[in-house]
Amino acid sequence: MPASYSLFELNEYIRRVVALNFPEPIWVHCEIAQIKEVRGNVYLDLVHHDETTDEVTAQISANIWYKSYLFLKNKLGALLPSLLAQGTNISIKVQVEYSEKYGMKLIIEDLDPAYTIGQMEMKRQKILQQLSDEGLMHLNKLTELPKVIQNIAVISSPKAAGYIDFVNHLTDNAYGYRYNIQLYEAALQGLNTEKDVCNAFQSIHNGKNSHDCILIIRGGGSKPDLAWFDNYNIGAAIAKSKLPVITGIGHDVDSTVADSVAFQSIKTPT
């Protein structure tokens, strides 16, 4: 009869093997599938996708303990929440740990923001090339903007500072002009951005209201915040719009896929 081991003995052996082969922290790149914060500690589910099929081929849990999270907050400041978001590709410095009771886990010690921003830029360029190959890059620029603009469809969030500023400027303009502004609500970052923005375009074009143009107002933010507009379906919806689309996403130095295909891109549409 072959030798028999208890589950603890087996897991203890695996722990020793892991400790022997990963004595020092290593850098790993992956995607955040889920993330939550509990009492200052951050818990993540990390995945790897096959580049061809997009199938999940690897998955593991990871932690950022409170002290490491404080270190990252001091190092990255306001950029950290944008990097630690569901769907973001990250490069992390981890200690590989295996527990007899809890199994394998990665303990995150550091994060490289340059990797995430680099991955976002590669994705942006790939989408721009696809839109160019399909003849969509300059399509919306061929639409006509009326000389007198009065009926405006706005895709934004009612709580967005940029939208509130826009409405205040138009309401209190020095010439006493009156505008009809209709808001089509959409998430401006996060996993719902693509669906909400594309649904807004569909509602605008299928609705009974007549509009002179469409404005997308996002306002400022970090590169990861704005990268939700580096999206093929959003770019295609803008390009194929029968109305001129004006984008106010980010600052002067920022440029997203949405900006590139729009009729006009400006700091704010005010």
DSSP string, 34-54: EEEEETTEEEEEEEEE-TTT-
pLDDT of 160 reads 87
Q: What is the pLDDT of residue 250?
A: 78
**What six digits make up the tokens of 204?**
């605008």
Between CA 248 and CA 265 the distance in angstroms is 6
Q: Are 84 and 59 contacting, i.e. CB atoms less than 8 angstroms apart?
A: no
Residue 2: the pLDDT is 65
Q: Which of 228, 49, 215, 50 is nearest to 124 (CA)?
A: 228
Structure tokens at 200: 């807004």
Q: Are 64 and 41 in contact (CB under 8 A)?
A: yes
Task: Tell me how far apart the alpha carbons of residues 234 and 125 are, in angstroms, rounded to a whole number.
Answer: 15
Per-residue tens of pLDDT for the chain, all 270 residues: 467 899 999 999 999 999 999 999 999 999 999 999 999 999 999 999 988 888 999 999 999 999 999 999 999 998 899 899 998 999 999 999 999 999 999 999 999 999 998 999 899 999 999 999 999 999 999 999 998 899 999 999 998 888 998 999 888 888 888 899 999 999 998 889 999 999 999 999 998 889 999 999 987 777 888 889 999 999 999 999 999 999 988 776 668 999 999 999 987 655
pLDDT at 174 (0 to 100): 86
What pLDDT is recorded for position 53?
A: 87
Residue (of 231, 142, 63, 39) closest to 216 by Cα position:
231
- C-beta neighbour count of 140 within 10 angstroms: 23
C-alpha–C-alpha distance, residues 173 and 169, integer Å: 6
8 Å CB contact between 246 and 269: yes
Backbone torsions φ then ψ of 30, nearest 5 degrees: -165, -175
Q: Which amino acid type is present at position 41?
A: N
Q: Which two tokens stand for residue 3?
A: 């030798």
For residue 142, the model assigns a pLDDT of 96
Q: Quickly count helices (H) and strands (E) in the chain.
A: 9, 10
pLDDT at 182: 95
